[in-house]
Amino acid sequence: MTDQVLCALGRLFVRWQQLGESRGSLPLCEFEAGWHSPCELGEPHDGRVAWRPAARPEAEDFSALEQALELPLHPSIKALYGHWFSRPLTLWFKGLRLCLIQPWNQEDLDLLKENLIGHLLMQRKLGRTPTLFLASCRDEMGIISLDNGSGEVLFERLDSDKRTIIAPDLATFLDRLLP
């Protein structure tokens, strides 16, 4: 499953980059001194810097997080968050606009892990089965998440128990995203 997710994520990055190239420019983001990323290309200009997703030299180790939570994480989530750095990507899934979460640098990944811990602990408190967030939606009470047990991708309401399966697995979901 990990290889399928990594291949699907790579294909998504290619589709996303091809769209940018067809418009004749690299994506730009606000340059933040002290918040550097291997994604940055060249020097900042007028407070902005060009960037593109960058593969990590080594995969992130999630074992400390799993031990702290006493919960093995689904391999798909480790593949999604542990192999690349990128800005969050605004994408479309069947007419739904979403923002695929990606860590910009190691510090950002550490913050992401802390947020995952908080999300999982809140789910435990509410008696819900564990899910891991993948993307935010315009409606702040709706998120795209991964069922940690089955690996299915869900549209999840944070203000209720409502969860709807939108893809059988993360690789399929990533392949269906449009830039």
Domain with residue 40: its CATH number is 3.40.1580.20
pLDDT at 1: 67
Domain encompassing residue 5: 1-176
- Mean pLDDT across 68-94: 96
The CA–CA distances, whole Å, from 79 to 2, 40, 76, 170 equal: 6, 22, 5, 10
pTM of the model as a whole: 0.93
| Per-residue pLDDT tens over the stretch 117-168 | 999 999 999 999 999 999 999 888 899 999 999 999 999 998 888 999 999 9
Instruction: Please count the structural domains in the chain.
Output: 1
In order, the DSSP letters of 51-62 are E--EE-SSPPP-
The CA–CA distances, whole Å, from 172 to 85, 99, 167 equal: 21, 17, 6
